[in-house]
Structure 1
Amino acid sequence: MTLYHFGNCVALIYVPYYLTYKYSGLSEYGAFWKCIQAGMIYMFTQLCKMLVLATFFPDNDADIGSDLLGEFLKATVDIADLVGLYFVLSGIPGKGHSKVLTAGIGWATAEVILSRALLLWVGARGAEFDWKYIQKCLESNIFLIQHISSATLIWLWSRHDLKTNLKPIVTALLIFTAYKGLMLDILLKVLMTGPWMMLVIKALVTLATGGFTLTIYAGLAQAIGIF
């Protein structure tokens, strides 16, 4: 039973990533090694973030409500993720959709391997079933959408042919992406919701952000004819 639970968790995490890669057409562009490179940049970025957090914020156990300024400054470090994604996109040739999908999938896959593989191996193989591992698996799929949206926003922000009236919207969405984790933590702390409702709220916010991003991207793509 424990092995069956572990297999379900692994499938729930990695099958959506595989299907996204397979049916997005990235295999036709030979994007596998570019995804690997994106994962390497992700690891380097996380190492830099850990060094900054350990140097300037050695006490990471403080409650959100007790030190809001400190939590805000720690959340600011997440801007490094956007910088890392920018460098990933800069090193990927090709059309817009292949660039953002390669960067987003590579980044998200590296994150899910580093943050979920050991957790599932140690926890999901335990003697007792626990819903928290299913929740972590579903959250990983939310992260996939989130990182593809972030890569798309960075690509849009770097375009010189983006309409002037859309530039502030894209910039605002990027800022929201960087601080979304902190804002959701504060919201969920105020609402005092359960883990399943927390997951639903995170999914809805991520889908809304992705929807806005897709709308802007589709408008620009049709305008410049990259479809």
Structure 2
Amino acid sequence: MTLYHFGNCVALVYVPYYLAYKHSGLSEYGAFWKCVQAGMIYMFTQLIKMMVLATFFPDNVEEFGSYLIGDFFKYTVDIADLVGLHFVLDGIPGKGHSKVLTAGIGWATAEVILSRALLLWVGARGAEFDWIYIQKCLESNILLVQHIATATLIWLRSRHNLNNNLKTVVTILLVLSCYKSLLFESLIHILKLGTWLGLVVKGAFTLAYGLFSLSIYAGMAELMGIY
């Protein structure tokens, strides 16, 4: 039973990533090693973030006046993820859709391997069933959509022919993406939402975030003729 639960969790986490890579056409572009490079940049970025957090942010967040303010400053370090994704996109040749998919899938895959593999191996193989691991697996799929959408917004932000009003909106969304976890945690705490309902809220926000990114990209792609 424990191995069955562990196998279900692994499939729920990693199969969508494999299908996204396989059916997005990236395998035809030979983008595997570019995804690996994106993962390496992800790991380097996380190392830099940990060094910054350890150096400038003490464990006792009460020194900042409150937990909320302390968390706000800590999540500000996530801007490094945007910089890392920007470097990934710059290093990928090809059209826009292949660049954003390679960067997004490579980045998301590295994150899910580093954040979920050990968790599932240690926890999901336990003697007792716990829904928390199913929730973590579903959250990983939400993160896949979010990272692809974020890569799309970063690519759009770098376009010189993007409308200034849209560029402002894109910039705001990118900045908000750094504080999404803080916003979700605060919202769940204030509204006293359960874990499942909180997951639904995250999924709904990510869906809207992704659809908005896709709509802007579709308009830009049609304008530039890069479908």
Q: What's the CA shift for 1:8?
A: 0.2
Query: TM-score by structure 1 length?
Result: 0.97
1:147 is matched with 147
2:182 is equivalent to residue 207 of structure 1: no
1:125 is matched with 125
Query: Do the aligned partners of residues 199 and 61 (structure 1) sit closer, same or farther apart at CA in structure 2, a change above 3 Å counting?
Result: farther
Query: Do the aligned partners of residues 26 and 126 (structure 1) sit closer, same or farther apart at CA in structure 2, a change above 3 Å counting?
Result: same
> 2: distance between equivalents of 1:30 and 1:58?
44
Q: What's the CA shift for 1:61?
A: 7.2
> 1: distance between equivalents of 2:130 and 2:218?
41
> 1: distance between equivalents of 2:149 and 2:128?
36
Q: Give the gaps of 5 or more residues in structure 2.
A: none
Query: Do the aligned partners of residues 60 and 105 (structure 1) sit closer, same or farther apart at CA in structure 2, a change above 3 Å counting?
Result: farther
Fraction of identical pairs, as percent: 75
CA contact (8 A) 2:61 2:70 kept: no
2:135 is equivalent to residue 135 of structure 1: yes
2:58 is matched with 58
CA contact (8 A) 2:61 2:67 kept: no
In structure 2, give the amino acid aligned to 1:174. Answer: L
SS at match of 1:165: helix
Runs of 4+ in structure 1 over 3 Å off: none
SS at match of 1:92: coil
Q: Give the gaps of 5 or more residues in structure 1.
A: none
CA contact (8 A) 2:53 2:74 kept: yes
> 2: distance between equivalents of 1:72 and 1:123?
30
> 1: distance between equivalents of 2:163 and 2:55?
40
Q: What's the CA shift for 1:190?
A: 0.4
2:87 is equivalent to residue 87 of structure 1: yes
1:104-123 pair list within 5 angstroms: 104-123=104-123
SS at match of 2:58: coil
> 2: distance between equivalents of 1:84 and 1:60?
28
Query: Do the aligned partners of residues 93 and 196 (structure 1) sit closer, same or farther apart at CA in structure 2, a change above 3 Å counting?
Result: same
1:38 is matched with 38
Q: What's the CA shift for 1:60?
A: 6.2
SS at match of 2:164: coil
> 2: distance between equivalents of 1:118 and 1:164?
44
SS at match of 1:166: helix
Cα deviation, 1:91-127, whole Å, max 9, x if unaligned, reads 0000000000000000000000000000000000000
> 1: distance between equivalents of 2:168 and 2:225?
23
> 2: distance between equivalents of 1:185 and 1:127?
30
Aligned length: 226
CA contact (8 A) 2:89 2:100 kept: yes
> 2: distance between equivalents of 1:35 and 1:124?
27
Query: Which stretch of the first structure deviates more once superposed, 50-59 or 13-22?
Result: 50-59
> 2: distance between equivalents of 1:66 and 1:171?
28
1:225 is matched with 225
> 2: distance between equivalents of 1:4 and 1:61?
41
> 2: distance between equivalents of 1:226 and 1:126?
49
> 2: distance between equivalents of 1:16 and 1:61?
37
2:165 is matched with 165
2:4 is equivalent to residue 4 of structure 1: yes
SS at match of 2:165: coil
> 1: distance between equivalents of 2:95 and 2:5?
40
Q: What's the CA shift for 1:58?
A: 2.6
In structure 2, give the amino acid aligned to 1:29. Answer: Y
CA contact (8 A) 2:35 2:102 kept: yes
Q: What's the CA shift for 1:25?
A: 0.2
In structure 1, give the amino acid aligned to 2:79. Answer: I
Q: What's the CA shift for 1:66?
A: 3.4
In structure 1, give the amino acid aligned to 2:13. Answer: I
